[in-house]
Chains A and B, each alone.
Chain A
Amino acid sequence: MSEHGDVHVSPNSTYFGVFFALCVLTVVTAWVAFYDFGPFNDLVALGIAFTKASLVVLFFMHVKYSGRLVKLIVIASLVWLGIMFGLTIIDYVSREAVTPDPAVVPSPYETFEPKSLSGDGDHGGDAAH
């Protein structure tokens, strides 16, 4: 059997157990969403989503029984995702502090029309008022 050392065959009870947990968590997350916990609503919903995701990744996708290389890819992809979220959000939250003049960098949620290309008219001749 050493030839199949990389193949993990889970008992059906594992799969049904995970399935049951996923169903319960789905009901719980939908139910608590209707109660107001202020900012904790987001935390609870995301916490439950992460728990469900971990169950799927570890047991349905067999990562719990996979080699180090697969575990490394899973963790690395989450780190990269974190970099994308983190750096983008840092840009948005710091934008107004760095350039307070809304004429230079318009607040992304105040304007929906594309900015006029004529600009301040420094160079263009016929783009006058």
Chain B
Amino acid sequence: MSTHADSALAHHFESFEQQRTAASLGMWLFLAQELMFFGGLFTCYLIYRSLNSLDFAIASSELDITLGGINTAVLITSSLTMALGVKAAQLAKKNQLIGYLLATILLACCFLVIKYFEYAAKFEHHTVPGQHFEFHVPPDLIEKFELGPERLVQMEKRAEIFFSVYFAMTGLHGLHVLIGIGIAIWLLFPASRGKFNMDYHAPVENFGLYWHFVDLVWIFLFPLLYLLGRNIHA
């Protein structure tokens, strides 16, 4: 075991293995609270959707399934590049690690750019909750579900709830993507100095865990926000 002054082993740890286990434990506890953090919004979605399922289904079909689907693919791919990046860090392959980190950053930016276009379309169509919110139920659905004028007014209010939930959930998720980009850029510096190897790679590994968690949230957001309710058109 190295007792070098600039050793990556902090003095209060017995061994690298103990240091890695401690770092990993801390990260998992952080992710557990992140799950509860997002869980509050998922609970909100669960309650409002169970109370207004037709309204949510109709509002949800306004979302762009193509952009949502592409973003799912982009995020899954970034999870793959990150998983490969962690492996490169474990095996001390400096250039591979830099490449995978850059690929992850690029894909994350791609995700946010697509998200920007989605949000911009919502501002254009006035489906952003607030003073200027407007929601028009497609005529074929008015006919199909025999919606009277009173029900349509009610539906517009409930659609506003759907879009509030949509913006809160995707917004918080987008913020996590943004933070992820920042951490990945920060990791490029130690990575380019060749800091990571089999003994010491916790920063990359823990960022990988964070990044996969962000992917996990999207894996649930995509069906819940974009897909559930598509069948009303069937």
A interface, CB within 8 angstroms of B: 3-7, 9-10, 12, 15-16, 18-19, 22-23, 26, 29-30, 33-37, 41-42, 45-46, 48-49, 52-53, 56-57, 59-61, 66-67, 69-70, 73-74, 76-78, 80-81, 84-85, 88-89, 92, 108-109, 112
Contact = CB atoms under 8 A, between A and B. Distances in A.
Interface in B31-70: 31-32, 35-36, 39-40, 42-43, 46-48, 50-52, 65, 69
5 contacts: A12-B84, A61-B208, A80-B35, A84-B40, A108-B47
B79 A89 contact: no
Interface in B66-83: 69, 72-73, 76-77, 79-80, 82-83
Contacts of A80: 32, 35-36, 39
Nearest to A34: B230
B160 to A, nearest CB: 9
B223 A45 contact: yes
Contact of A56 (B36, B40, B91, B215): B215
A32 B16 CA distance: 48
Interface stretch (B20-28, B131-139, B172-180, B183-191): B20-28
A81 B17 contact: no
B212 A56 contact: yes
Given A9-B87, A34-B230, A53-B220, A109 B28 contact: no
Nearest to B87: A9
Contacts of A4: 17, 198-199
A57 B216 contact: yes
Given A53-B220, A77-B35, A89-B46, 11 more contacts: A6-B17, A34-B230, A34-B233, A45-B228, A49-B222, A53-B216, A57-B212, A69-B21, A69-B25, A73-B28, A109-B51
Contacts of B25: 69-70, 73
A46 B228 CA distance: 10
Nearest to B16: A3
Given A53-B219, A77-B32, A92-B51, A26 B228 contact: no
A88 B231 contact: no
Given A5-B17, A26-B76, A84-B40, A33 B230 contact: yes
A23 B219 CA distance: 11
Contacts of A10: 83, 87
B47 A26 contact: no
Interface of B: 15-17, 20-21, 24-25, 28-29, 31-32, 35-36, 39-40, 42-43, 46-48, 50-52, 65, 69, 72-73, 76-77, 79-80, 82-84, 87, 90-91, 157-158, 198-199, 208-209, 212-213, 215-216, 219-220, 222-224, 227-228, 230-234
Contacts of A36: 231-232, 234
Contact of B83 (A15, A23, A42, A69): A15
Contact of A108 (B17, B51, B65): B51
A64 B90 CA distance: 17
Nearest to B35: A77
Given A7-B90, A73-B29, A19 B77 contact: yes
The 5 residue pairs across chains A and B that have the minimum distance between CB atoms: A36-B234, A77-B32, A33-B227, A36-B231, A45-B223
